[in-house]
Structures are given as C-alpha cells and as structure tokens.
Structure 1
Amino acid sequence: MLESPRFPTPPNPVNFDEYCLQKAAPPGSSTYYALRQASTAQQPLLAALFALRRELEETAKETSDPTVGRTKLAWWQKELAALAAGNPAHPVTKAIAQHAPDVEGLYPLLQQLLAGFEMDFEQARYLDLSNLRRYMEGVGGTFATLIAQVGARTEDERAAVAQWASPLGNALMLAQFVPEIGNDARHGRIYIPIDELQRYNVTAADLINRRYSAEFTELMQFQTGRAREAVHAALAAIPAGERRHQRMLRALAALELALLDEVEREQFQVLHQHIALTPIRKLWIAWRAARRA
C-alpha cells in the first residue's frame, strides 16, 4: 500500500513559538539546554530555525516512500518561497517571519538547507569522505551558518560567519553520525563512507543486522577520533571576538563531544540501542561551555 502524502501544517496551532519549542527543543533535549545559553532575544528565532531543520529531517529520514518524501519537500520549497514573499502558512515559517530581521537574507541559506536534505532521497551510501562532505555541507554547514548569523552582531560579522561556522557544522555532523549509526542503518541510510567500511572490513549488512566485532570497534574508534578532532579544530577557529556571542553553538559542540565520550565508554554499543546523556549532565555541560572564554 502506497504511503499517502500528509503535509506538515498542524491543525489550528495556538502559538507558533510554542510549536517550534515543542518540535525542536522539548525539555530534556540537547537543543533545549543549548538554546537556553543564547540571549533571550535570540531564542525565538533560533528555536524556529531548529524546528525547520527538524521538519525537513523528519521528512527526509522518516518517510519510507521516496516519492512521498520528495512531494513533501516540494511543499516545503513552496512554503519557503511563501516565507520570502511575506505570506507563510506553517507555524515554523510564521515564527521565522516574526523574528528574523532579514528574511530575504536568510532565504538562500534556507534553500541550501532543503537541498541538502533532498540528497537523502538521491543516495543512501557515500563512496568516500569527499562525497559525503557534499551532504554534510548542505545540511550541517548551512545550518550552523544560519545559527551563527543570528548570533552575529554586525553586518561584517554576518558576512564572515560561514568561514568558521560551516566547518563547525560539518564537524558536528561527523559527531552526530557516531551515536546514530544503528538508527540510521535501520532507516536504510549509512553515513560512513564505503571506502572506510571496506578499510575496516565492516559491511553495510553488519550495521543493519547489528553485528558487533573487533573490526567494528576499530571503525568506530576511527570515526569517533576524527569527529572529536574536527569539532575541537572548528571550535578553535571561532574568532575570539565572537565566542561570547556564539554560546549556543559552543554549547552544542560541548554536548556532542560529551556524547562521543559516553559512546566510547559504552564500547560503541550503538547498533542496538540509543546512547544519550542525562538531562542534568546536559544542563551542566551546556552551561559550563557557554561561559568559557
């Protein structure tokens, strides 16, 4: 039986800001604690952007029929155009319109973000890291740039944020792939490049069927180490004058690094279970990271 497209406008939302918070940052989530590190004035727009990312991610990764998924993303393409034209219909785009000082300036990045998620319907395997990086830049680098622009104080800073924010977004995606390997495989997508699987003698079937091995452990050690190094390097590249104003991104990075440590302590048992930090740890990690110079 074919899946019928159900478009994402919820019935009679009472408050689009509340909708965005429920969608993107429910209490106890990493986004919830990272969002609280941003200034009060920035939080509504940041929540809306995270909610949009979540809407697109759900469409791309949780829609079993590719035809239906593409139809839903086409709906979002039209909705983003409506946002740019000043007549959004969805609670998320209404929130962006309400809180973004320059919607037209955001529109090209929002289009890039949607195009990145469209890649999930084009391929589910990646030959090598350079091939995977196209996906990472479309989804991770673009989104981090959007978030960094919200924190930037001047036009010059907003124009320059992509230089350091895009590598940070890519690094965060590398980190996010690690604990999600099992879940992604069960949804038919593997974000470890094929040449790296072959190098460590691990197959896609091993991941899908939750087969652990010494080779899998070595593969995961490599993935974790590379992700950790990439996040640290990207954090170090944030200009000193902007670090205080990018507290949310720095909190997110700290949470991803802590989760990598937790996955490592659990001996990379990520194929059959979801490993997560406790809410109290998330609160402490995000708070501490945001206040570091």
Structure 2
Amino acid sequence: MTRRELDAAEVWDPLLRRSYQRCRQLHARHGRTYFLATRLLTVDRRPAVHALYGFARWVDDIVDTAPGVPDPATAAARAARLDQIGDELRRGLAEGRSAHPLFAAVVHTARRYRIDPGHFTDFLTAMRMDLTVTDYPTRAALNTYIRGSAEVIGLQVLPVLGTVTSQREAAPHAAALGNAFQLTNFIRDIAEDLDLGRIYLPADELAAFGVDRDRLLWCRRTRRVDQPVRRALADQVARARALYRFAEPGIAMLDPVARPCVATAFTLYGEILDHITRAGYNVFASRAAVPATRRLAVATPALVSTLAARSTARLSAGGKKPWRALPPGC
C-alpha cells in the first residue's frame, strides 16, 4: 500500500520514497486513531499526512525518552539536539529540498502544499518547553504550549486536506480541533505524564477543586480517584467538549473527499472522553481507549462516504487529477 500511495502522489525519487515510508511507519506505530482516519484520504494525499505526523512523533520521542523530573544535563543535550533539528529543517525548507532521511519528506510536503515554515518553528518551540516545564499555572500558559504542540499540526494538515472556503476561515476550527485532541490526550494520559514529571492541566483550574500535584500522585500510586479529582476532571472534560463544538463546523469547510477522514478522528477522539466519563473519571486504573470494533464501525460508513465523494470529484473534474500546489516532479 505504501508503494501505491507514493505512486499516486507521484513521488519517484528513491530517497524521497524511503523518507515517506519511514514517516508512515512512525505514524502507524504511534497514532492508531489518526492513522486509521488517514486511510480515508485519497491515496495521493496520505503520504503528506504521514510526513507531518511522523515528524511530530519522531521529535516527541526525542523529548520523552526518559521518565522522571527533567535532569538539567539531559535536558541540555536534548535542547542541543532540537536546535540541530531546527537548523537542518530550516535549511531544507529554505532550499526546498533535504537529504535527511526523515526531513526529506517533510520538506517536500511543506513545499508542495505551501505550508507556513513558522508552524514548524512553533512546534519545535513547544517541544523545547517539555525539557524544562513541568507545570502550567494557567490556561493561557498551557495554551502557549498547545499552540505549538497541537494547533499548528492542524494548520499544517489543512492545505493537504483542502477547503471549499478560504483557509483563513477554516484555520480557527482546525486549530481548535488540534487543541481538543491534545486536551483529550492530557486528560487520558495524566498517569503517564506524572511518570514523566509533568502535569498538562492548568494548576489554578485544578486548585479550584482542591487538587494539586500531591493529590494526583496519590491517585497514581493507588490507581484510585477521589471526589475532588473526579470533579476537576469533569471540568476538564467539559472544556474539551466545548473545543470540539467550536471545531465541528470546520469539517464542512473541508474538501468533501477529506471530510470523512476528519469526521472519523473527531468522533473517535470525542468518544475517548465518553469512556473516561463512564469510568467515573478514573484515568489512573487503566488507559481509556476506543475498542477496535468501534473504530471499525465508525470508519466503515466513513469509507462509503469517502468513495462517494471521490466519485463525485472525479466526475466534476472530468477525470483530471486534483489540483496540486506544485508540479509533481518538484
């Protein structure tokens, strides 16, 4: 299937093909819901999404390789590595090509779809924050991190998906969906993040319910959730749902052939919150996940919608291939 995707995207250079394949492997390994949703895109658009998500996961792994409170020496070494990554990626984006085994696909995607290079800068800035920041005092402080770690991913993917409105109109909804996905992750993964020495929920909002780091650590040790933590997490779930509601109108702004992909991710990620709620907000006993059978049940009708949209698009285009930002041979 990788070969079919790359052929459809008209990626012929052997180095580029290997780079896209590596990104696809990273995407498949780390993002079950995202990867499944990507399968609903037309084959020619999938490599670009694999490149963007694969790169993000690769960098995230560099930051998160060791548990516990960040060690200054280790953090400095990783910061230097991120600086090196940023320098090499910026050169590639400026020149329009890269020989790096991973960046080659990222640069190619960014050039083909005219993705703002600033989105990559914002992402790497957020990753640097993970090296030293362990708590966020307010929502505003957390949103500074989320801007780079999640919202810009939605903005990067937006040109790949295509829109029926201006991208400027769709962008706030794409960013909000990235924020909603990230906040869902933060709620679900509190226990794992505590093991890394981090809390990705605003301290002042937790404190309003009598919750602090010590209380969360008690929950982690005992695999139980008490009433203050339950109420605090219910508040965070409500905030995440508000983000989903704001993001939802953006789906209709996408190219029809891309809508089922995003709608599937929207539904499945939102259902993680349903699982958390049904478990009484005890995210410490087990990791909330949507069962494979449910993922398939959501993806199957989405696939039908996708095929219908593709057929309509082919008829409208008179059999021609969809518009590309740059010639395939770039």
Q: Indicate yes or no: 2:132 matched with 1:129.
A: no
The corresponding residue for 1:169 is 178
The corresponding residue for 2:267 is 254
Task: Determine which of 219, 225, 243 is the counterpart of 1:230.
Answer: 243
Q: Indicate yes or no: 2:193 matched with 1:190.
A: no
Q: In structure 2, what is the Cα distance between the partners aligned to 1:203 and 1:284?
A: 39
Displacement after TM superposition at 1:61 (Å): 2.8
Displacement after TM superposition at 1:93 (Å): 1.3
Task: Determine which of 276, 281, 285 is the counterpart of 2:289.
Answer: 276
**One-letter identity of the residue aligned with 1:54:** R
What secondary structure, in the 3-state scheme, does the structure 1 residue paired with 2:166 have?
Answer: helix
Q: In structure 2, what is the Cα distance between the partners aligned to 1:94 and 1:229?
A: 37
Q: In structure 1, what is the Cα distance between the partners aligned to 2:75 and 2:47?
A: 32
The corresponding residue for 2:159 is 149
Task: Determine which of 79, 82, 85 is the counterpart of 1:73.
Answer: 82
Displacement after TM superposition at 1:98 (Å): 3.9
Q: Is the 8 A contact 2:211 2:229 kept in 1?
A: yes
Q: Is the 8 A contact 2:42 2:257 kept in 1?
A: no
The corresponding residue for 2:26 is 23
Q: 1:21 to 1:105 in 2, by over 3 A?
A: closer
Q: 1:261 to 1:105 in 2, by over 3 A?
A: closer
Q: Indicate yes or no: 2:67 matched with 1:54.
A: no
The corresponding residue for 2:187 is 178
Q: 1:75 to 1:283 in 2, by over 3 A?
A: farther
Q: In structure 2, what is the Cα distance between the partners aligned to 1:40 and 1:25?
A: 15
The corresponding residue for 1:91 is 101
Q: In structure 1, what is the Cα distance between the partners aligned to 2:238 and 2:193?
A: 20
**One-letter identity of the residue aligned with 1:270:** V
The corresponding residue for 1:201 is 210
Q: In structure 2, what is the Cα distance between the partners aligned to 1:237 and 1:45?
A: 20
Displacement after TM superposition at 1:39 (Å): 1.4
The corresponding residue for 1:6 is none
**One-letter identity of the residue aligned with 2:100:** H
Q: In structure 1, what is the Cα distance between the partners aligned to 2:251 and 2:273?
A: 21
The corresponding residue for 2:91 is 82
* RMSD of aligned Cα (Å): 2.8
Relative to the length of structure 2, the TM-score reads 0.76
Q: 1:121 to 1:52 in 2, by over 3 A?
A: same
Displacement after TM superposition at 1:216 (Å): 1.1
Q: 1:213 to 1:259 in 2, by over 3 A?
A: same
Task: Determine which of 205, 214, 230 is the counterpart of 2:227.
Answer: 214
Q: In structure 2, what is the Cα distance between the partners aligned to 1:240 and 1:106?
A: 20
What secondary structure, in the 3-state scheme, does the structure 1 residue paired with 2:23 have?
Answer: helix
Answer with 1 or 2: which has the greater Rg.
Answer: 2
Q: In structure 1, what is the Cα distance between the partners aligned to 2:250 and 2:122?
A: 23
Displacement after TM superposition at 1:104 (Å): 6.1
Q: 1:118 to 1:26 in 2, by over 3 A?
A: same
The corresponding residue for 1:5 is none
**Structure 1, unaligned runs of 5 or more:** 1-11
Q: Is the 8 A contact 2:33 2:265 kept in 1?
A: yes
Q: In structure 2, what is the Cα distance between the partners aligned to 1:104 and 1:80?
A: 15
Q: Indicate yes or no: 2:268 matched with 1:263.
A: no
What secondary structure, in the 3-state scheme, does the structure 2 residue paired with 1:39 have?
Answer: coil
**Structure 2, unaligned runs of 5 or more:** 1-14, 310-330
Q: In structure 1, what is the Cα distance between the partners aligned to 2:257 and 2:241?
A: 22
Percent identity of equivalent pairs: 23
Q: Is the 8 A contact 2:138 2:205 kept in 1?
A: yes
Q: 1:87 to 1:150 in 2, by over 3 A?
A: closer
Q: Is the 8 A contact 1:200 1:216 kept in 2?
A: yes
Q: Is the 8 A contact 2:115 2:156 kept in 1?
A: no
